Structure 1
Amino acid sequence: MIAETIFSAVSAAGLGIAAVTAYRKRFLAATRIAAYSLVPVGLVMTGVVKWAAHTAFSPVAWLGFVVLGVAWLLFLTTRAVERRRGGTRKERRAAEKAARREAVAPAASAPSLPGRSPAVRPEPQPAPRAQGSGEDFSDIEAILKKHGL
């Protein structure tokens, strides 16, 4: 009952400050203050304050918070160990596989048949430009030629 009274008084004081702020023609700030001051009344009306007061004096609730804290510390500890080792076992295996694939020959092509040489594509030649245009479209032309356009 005391918590509800205190929350209601805080809300009333906040609404009074909002009224004074609105009187000073600062309507945006007054609206924001009114919104903040209505939150405690809303919490009282929904029963959150009563629930919180019962939780604060309940030993079972405090033991629950302790258990949650221990779980949180265990998560943090395992994450720190993973970082120190270089990730989870699954991530390390994936990195090792990628390293083995790269170590073989990253730029190697498919094996060629005996007696046949690999086909060599000629370099595309840039198209001649008009001398008087003054604009340089060589990079655009290279991109278009690369895509066969």
Structure 2
Amino acid sequence: MIAETVCAAVAAAGLGVAAITAYRKRFLRAARIAAYALVPIGLVMTGVVAWAADTAFSPAAWAGFGVLGAAWALFATTRAVERRSGGTTRKERKAARSAQREAIAPAASAPSLGQGARPAARPTSAPRAAGSTDSGDDFSDIEAILKKHGI
């Protein structure tokens, strides 16, 4: 009974503030305030306020909230432990790591250009002209840079 009276008083005060706001020609704000002011009356009319008041003073309801809190704490704790451990056993994690290492090529860290990747020297059957340059000489500085960086 008291909760319904308080909700009616809050609604009446809110509608009064909405009327003053509308008088100041701020109609959008007044409509929003009126909407907020009508919510407590709607809750009283639907019976939510009576249910909430009965629940607030019920020891069984508070015990139920305590049980729900304990259940939530257990869920949160188990989730945190599962995230920390990865959800797997130590043997499973070790097997997964070794399988991951085996999937990578064993020579992947070695330079990709080895001795077999160099082009073979061309046989020179005809003498070159004095103005022509060797294509191998053109790329020798690039090869030196690549070798320096291990590529």
TM range (shorter): 0.5 to 0.7
Q: 1:51 to 1:97 in 2, by over 3 A?
A: same
Sequence identity, in percent? 67
Deviation of 1:100 (Å): 4.4
- Equivalent-residue separation in structure 2 for 1:59 and 1:105 (angstroms): 61
Amino acid at match of 1:30: A
Following the alignment from structure 1 to structure 2, what is the Cα–Cα distance between the partners of residues 107 and 4? 75
Q: Which residue of 1 aligns with 2:87?
A: 88
Inter-CA distance 105–64: structure 2 relative to 1 (3 Å threshold): closer
SS at match of 1:89: coil
Structure 2 SS opposite 1:104: helix
Structure showing greater relative contact order (alpha-carbon pairs closer than 8 Å, 6 or more residues apart): 2
TM-score by structure 2 length? 0.61
Q: Following the alignment from structure 2 to structure 1, what is the Cα–Cα distance between the partners of residues 87 and 26?
A: 55
Q: Following the alignment from structure 1 to structure 2, what is the Cα–Cα distance between the partners of residues 97 and 13?
A: 69
Q: Secondary structure at the match of 2:11?
A: helix
| Structure of greater Rg | 2
Which letter maps to 2:101?
Answer: A
> Residues 55-75 of structure 1, C-alpha deviation per residue, up to 9 Å, x if partnerless?
111111111001001111111
Please give the root-mean-square deviation of Cα atoms over the aligned residues, in Å.
2.2
1:81-124, Cα deviation, whole Å (9 max, x unpaired):
12322x3239x95x76764443224459xxxxxxxxxxxxxxxx
Number of corresponding residues: 105
Partner residue in 2 for 1:53: 53
